[in-house]
Structure 1
Amino acid sequence: MTSSVVSSRSEKSSERSSLRTVDLRGPAGRLEALLNEGVPDSPLVGLVCHPHPMGGGTMHNKVVYHVMKVLNAPEWGLGWPVLRFNFRGTCLSEGRHDGHAESADVIAALNWLQSEYKLPVVLVGFSFGAAMALAASCGSDAPNGNHANLYALAALGLPTQGYGQTYNYPALPECFLPKLFLSGDHDSFASKHELQQVVDSAADPKSLVLIPGADHFFTGRLEQMQSSLAAWLKEQVS
């Protein structure tokens, strides 16, 4: 789960008018966060979670950035406000990496969005971020086993193993949120067979999309990833 990143400097210069920093407080301390502001009458807000920090994952990861664009940029037709943050111990975020407790960071971000916007949230996680998003929204870490303001959940590059850890998702049979599982069919952190088993265990509604020839980071196929994600999101809001 080694990360591929975009330059935060170029990102900020190209989106200075709509990008602002957020003072996000999690259980382990301050979490470095950015908000891409959306259209004034947006019906939904987005939260995007980054891949494993031990592999260099941050909120500036290339996949995370391209996901944010789908949810936020005018050319994709949604225009939602989108929050990204760095997990505890990553870059300027306080605390130390844990590998499990980061699901509480996701919950802190969801709570901030609910307080700020009072709108339903579309939660998207990539890789480790997808695992933490599932734990925060559907697992035992979620408040009352669920997070009331969630509208839909997209798990990109959901891992079944990595960094010496096996990932299991026992709460999926009771998770009734609309769910998208979007991966490359050459993902080295979850084989097609393993991912299919995870999806089969999940409650409806759910969708599985495998992008042919794509690796874990959708290398050379980021636009296909974006198009698949955008199509599913527009189905959810139609």
Structure 2
Amino acid sequence: MPEVIFPGPEGRLEGRYHPQKDRDAPIAIVLHPHPQFGGTMNNKVVYNLHYAFHQMGFTVLRFNFRGVGRSQGEYDQGVGELSDAASALDYLQSMNANSKHCWVAGFSFGAWIGMQLLMRRPEITGFISASPPANMYDFSFLAPCPSSGLIINGTADRVAPPADTTALVGKLKEQKGITISHEEIEGSGHFFEGPHMETMISTVSDYVKRRLTESTR
């Protein structure tokens, strides 16, 4: 899978780009967890989401936020990281101008950034939000949430307690015109450890495939 370097707001950003042969394949970006707590694009959840999207026929990009790996700049409380994500999407779209579907997937801190990106980019048609830290960050900017998506978390998550995620889902489900799906993985912690990873990935894949099928009817 080719390593790529593309321009970001604070210098170059490092990514992994996995294209399809099909010129109008759907596109997806995958966003990693908190840079100050060891989050990188090679995080297991991010890596597995990346490959799941590729296996479903997506051209996929995951990348390191500023200050991580070979990406230039330094941590910016989420503000700069949102700009990084927008730059990554610009880069992915520039390489795939014929794509009709655009998805964003994020894990933990990356889920929070991904949900903000939804508000900036109306072309995003779907999202995956894995273990969103609704206890740590304000998600009230999702008013209204512009596209349908899946929120997935573990029932034993001690980093982002399930009650906070359920409350977030409840607020989003009150909004008209979109459908928020919510799946909880029994016994899983924040990082979908062990066998829970496979369950999470298969749940995400089933959801995305269903959405793609619906969009072609």
TM-score, normalization: structure 2? 0.90
* Partner of residue 181, structure 2: 207
The DSSP-based 3-state class of the residue aligned with 1:176 is coil
- Which of the residues 93, 113, 116 maps onto 2:95? 116
* Partner of residue 94, structure 1: 72
Query: Given residue 183 of structure 1, which amino acid in structure 2 is its aligned partner?
Result: N
Residue 195 (structure 1) shift: 0.6
Query: Given residue 99 of structure 1, which amino acid in structure 2 is its aligned partner?
Result: Q
The answer (yes or no) to whether the contact 1:160–1:189 under 8 Å persists in 2 is: no
The DSSP-based 3-state class of the residue aligned with 1:173 is coil
Query: Given residue 207 of structure 2, which amino acid in structure 1 is its aligned partner?
Result: W
The DSSP-based 3-state class of the residue aligned with 2:2 is strand
Residue 22 (structure 1) shift: 1.9
Sequence identity percentage: 32
* Partner of residue 5, structure 1: none
The DSSP-based 3-state class of the residue aligned with 1:94 is coil
Query: Given residue 152 of structure 1, which amino acid in structure 2 is its aligned partner?
Result: G
The answer (yes or no) to whether the contact 1:39–1:79 under 8 Å persists in 2 is: no
* Partner of residue 6, structure 2: 24
The answer (yes or no) to whether the contact 1:157–1:182 under 8 Å persists in 2 is: yes
* Partner of residue 171, structure 1: 141
Q: Gaps (5+ residues) in structure 1?
A: 1-18
Q: Gaps (5+ residues) in structure 2?
A: none
Q: RMSD between aligned alpha carbons?
A: 1.3
* Partner of residue 203, structure 2: 228
The answer (yes or no) to whether the contact 1:72–1:82 under 8 Å persists in 2 is: yes
Equivalent pairs counted in the alignment come to: 205
The DSSP-based 3-state class of the residue aligned with 2:143 is helix
* Partner of residue 44, structure 1: 26
Cα distance per residue 1:174-202 (max 9 Å; x no partner):
11301110111111222221111111111
* Partner of residue 59, structure 2: 81
The answer (yes or no) to whether the contact 2:86–2:117 under 8 Å persists in 1 is: yes
Residue 111 (structure 1) shift: 1.0
* Partner of residue 111, structure 2: 130
Cα distance per residue 1:40-76 (max 9 Å; x no partner):
2553011100111111111111111111111113xxx
CA distance in 1 between partners of 2:134 and 2:208 (Å): 24
- Which of the residues 196, 214, 218 maps onto 2:192? 218
* Partner of residue 3, structure 1: none
CA distance in 2 between partners of 1:24 and 1:110 (Å): 11
Give the stretch that moved more between structures: 39-48 or 199-208.
Answer: 39-48
- Which of the residues 153, 160, 170 maps onto 1:183? 153
CA distance in 1 between partners of 2:118 and 2:77 (Å): 17
CA distance in 2 between partners of 1:60 and 1:226 (Å): 16
Cα distance per residue 1:193-223 (max 9 Å; x no partner):
1111111111331101000000000001110
TM-score, normalization: structure 1? 0.82
The answer (yes or no) to whether the contact 1:176–1:205 under 8 Å persists in 2 is: no
CA distance in 1 between partners of 2:54 and 2:110 (Å): 19
